[in-house]
């Protein structure tokens, strides 16, 4: 067990705390493997009736994955990056299919890999500190960890909007969209966890009792615009719709899209379109793994990480530079299934 994961039992629950505060608990391969091992052990332990996920000190639940490692690997043979995705997606799938109740406390930053842990959980608790996002298109990646499955099932075109823009949702917006099941003040979380540990059979009743009515969800007033202007699965159509709309909101969102990778925005739209019809979450993970294995070695990911995370000039030079330059053939190459002996498999 890596010291970046704190796992223990309390009362009748298993507790998993992410403990990499300097990186806002961003996941590594070792962290994912440690959680997988602990979930496997607790699955057959009758004394553990539920599993709670939270974070140790710091300002967020989980900021994502180890992006620098992925980029360094992608610049070489990609093997280490593929190992990370394979293990992380096994964790996502195990949580999705886990037989015991799971609770994620999304207090603070919850992005990327943190979303992959939180969304498969039966209970997802937002607070006034929650900052939920899938910002991957800004670094030439795509909303993975099941993003094609979850985002495609949000109301209207909210999922497509979040996938393309990387917009941050607060706790109230998470509840409104169904990303969170409860809104609990951060100050009450300690008491909530203690009560669940004492009586995990009453998880839902405990969360209901401590939940408060969240503030109005900001995104609600924009849903009509989102559904209308992000209606198409063609990125060019979305650009045109936003450009033709005279509102400040549309121009702001269009300016946001101009900072993102056209290639991975198109990947995201195709992922959500196909994800809406996936027969199983395992099928989704298999597809996302193939896409990830290809994208991590392409120019836009390496350039996005350079611009946003390494050099911090925030001026990535995407290739292709426009949506029109991203061809269907290019997307077919990215979505091509891997050979059977290289494909993703559940744990």
Q: What mean pLDDT comes out for the span 58-72?
A: 92
Q: Name the phi and psi angles at 138, rounded to 5.
A: -75, -15
Q: What are the residue boundaries of the structural domains of the chain, listed by start? A: 5-334
Residue 192, pLDDT > 60, answer yes
How confident is the prediction for the chain on average, in pLDDT?
A: 97
144 an active-site residue? yes
Question: How far is residue 203's CA from residue 193's CA, in Å, rounded to a whole number?
Answer: 9
| Distance separating alpha carbons of residues 67 and 276, to the nearest angstrom | 27
The predicted-structure confidence for 80-93, as pLDDT tens digits, reads as follows 999 999 999 999 99
Tokens 């996938």 -> residue: 163
Would you place residue 258 in the very low, low, confident or very high pLDDT band (cuts 50, 70, 90)? very high
Contacts of 99 (CB under 8 A, 6+ apart): 43
105: pLDDT strictly greater than 70: yes
Indicate whether 47 pLDDT > 60: yes
What integer is the mean pLDDT of 102-111?
Answer: 98
pLDDT at 57: 86
Model confidence at 246: pLDDT above 90: no
Catalytic residue among 136, 170, 253, 300: 136
Task: Give the confidence band of 286 by pLDDT, cuts at 50, 70, 90.
Answer: very high
As a dihedral over the C-alpha atoms of residue 237, residue 135, residue 15, residue 213, rounded to 10 degrees, the angle is -70
Decide if 65 is catalytic. Answer: yes
Could you give the CA distance from residue 332 to residue 330 in angstroms, rounded to a whole number? 5
For residue 44, with 0-12 CB atoms within 10 Å meaning exposed, 13-18 middle and 19 or more buried, which class applies? Answer: exposed
What's the rounded Cα separation, in Å, for the pair 239 and 236?
5
81, 220, 273 from 176: Cα distances, Å: 34, 8, 22
d(CA 308, CA 319): 16
pTM as predicted? 0.97
Rounded Cα gap, residues 20 and 3, in angstroms: 9
Instruction: Please state which of the ranges 73-77, 184-188, 206-210 shows the lowest mean pLDDT.
Output: 73-77
The answer to whether the CB of 27 falls within 8 A of the CB of 62 is: yes
Q: What are 188's two structure tokens?
A: 């009450």
Please name the residues in contact with 2: beta carbons below 8 A apart, sequence gap of 6 or more.
Answer: 28, 30, 31, 34
Report how far apart, in Å, the C-alpha atoms of 99 and of each of 122, 226, 239 are: 10, 36, 43
User: For the CA atoms of the chain, what is the radius of gyration?
Assistant: 20
Taking 90 as the threshold, does the pLDDT of residue 21 lie above it?
Answer: yes
> Around Cβ 193, how many Cβ atoms within 10 Å?
20
Q: Which of 64, 65, 114, 138 is catalytic?
A: 65
Backbone angles phi, psi at 332, to 5 degrees: -60, -40
Phi, psi of 8 (to 5 degrees): -160, 165
Residue 276 CB neighbours (<10 A): 13
**How does pLDDT run across 165-177, given as a tens digit for each residue?**
999 999 999 999 9
Give the pLDDT confidence score for residue 112 in this predicted structure: 95
Question: Which ranges of 7-119 does DSSP label H, i.e. alpha helix?
Answer: 29-43, 67-74, 79-96, 113-118
Residue 287 neighbours by CB distance under 10 Å: 22
Q: How many CB atoms lie within 10 A of CB 11?
A: 17
28 Cα distance to chain centroid: 15
Q: What is the largest CA-CA distance in the chain?
A: 60
Those residues with Cβ within 8 angstroms of residue 111's Cβ, 6 or more apart along the chain or in another chain:
60, 62, 63, 64, 131, 132, 133, 134, 135
> What's the fold here for domain 5-334?
2-enoyl-CoA Hydratase; Chain A, domain 1 (3.90.226)
Which one of the listed residues 74, 113, 166, 292 is annotated catalytic?
A: 113
Looking at residue 1, its pLDDT comes to 53
Which residues, 6 or more positions from 51, have their beta carbon under 8 angstroms from its beta carbon? 13, 14, 15, 16, 39, 42, 98, 100, 101, 102, 103
**Which residue among 4, 144, 253, 284 is the active-site one?**
144
Q: Which residue has the tokens 């939940």?
A: 211
């Amino acid at each position: 067990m890596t010291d970046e994961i704190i796992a223990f039992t309390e009362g009748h629950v298993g507790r998993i705390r992410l403990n990499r505060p300097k990186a806002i608990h961003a996941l590594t391969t070792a962290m994912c493997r440690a959680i997988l091992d602990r979930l496997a052990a607790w699955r057959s332990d009758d004394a553990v009736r539920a599993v709670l996920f939270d974070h140790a000190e710091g300002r967020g639940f989980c900021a994502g994955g180890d992006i620098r490692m992925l980029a360094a690997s992608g610049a070489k043979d990609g093997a280490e990056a593929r190992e990370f995705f394979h293990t992380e997606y096994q964790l996502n799938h195990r949580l999705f299919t886990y037989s015991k109740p799971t609770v994620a406390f999304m207090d603070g930053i919850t992005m990327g890999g943190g979303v992959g842990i939180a969304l498969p959980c039966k209970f997802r608790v937002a607070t006034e500190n929650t900052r939920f996002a899938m910002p991957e298109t800004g670094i030439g990646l795509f909303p993975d960890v099941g993003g094609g499955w979850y985002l495609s099932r949000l109301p209207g075109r909210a999922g497509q909007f979040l996938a393309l823009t990387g917009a941050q949702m607060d706790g109230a917006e998470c509840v409104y969209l169904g990303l969170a099941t409860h809104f609990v003040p951060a100050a009450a979380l300690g008491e909530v966890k203690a009560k669940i540990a004492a009586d995990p059979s009453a998880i839902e009743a405990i969360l209901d009792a401590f939940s408060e009515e969240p503030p109005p969800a900001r995104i609600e007033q924009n849903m009509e615009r989102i559904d209308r202007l992000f209606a198409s699965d063609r990125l060019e159509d979305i650009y045109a719709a936003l450009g033709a709309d005279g509102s400040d909101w549309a121009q702001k969102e269009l300016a946001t899209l101009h900072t993102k990778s056209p290639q991975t925005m198109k990947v995201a739209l195709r992922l959500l379109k196909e994800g809406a019809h996936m027969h199983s979450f395992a099928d989704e993970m298999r597809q996302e793994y193939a896409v990830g294995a290809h994208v991590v070695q392409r120019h836009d990911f390496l350039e996005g990480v350079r611009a946003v995370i390494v050099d911090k000039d925030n001026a990535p030079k995407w290739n292709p530079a426009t949506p029109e330059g991203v061809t269907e053939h290019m997307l077919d190459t990215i979505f091509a299934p891997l050979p059977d002996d290289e494909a993703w498999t559940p744990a």
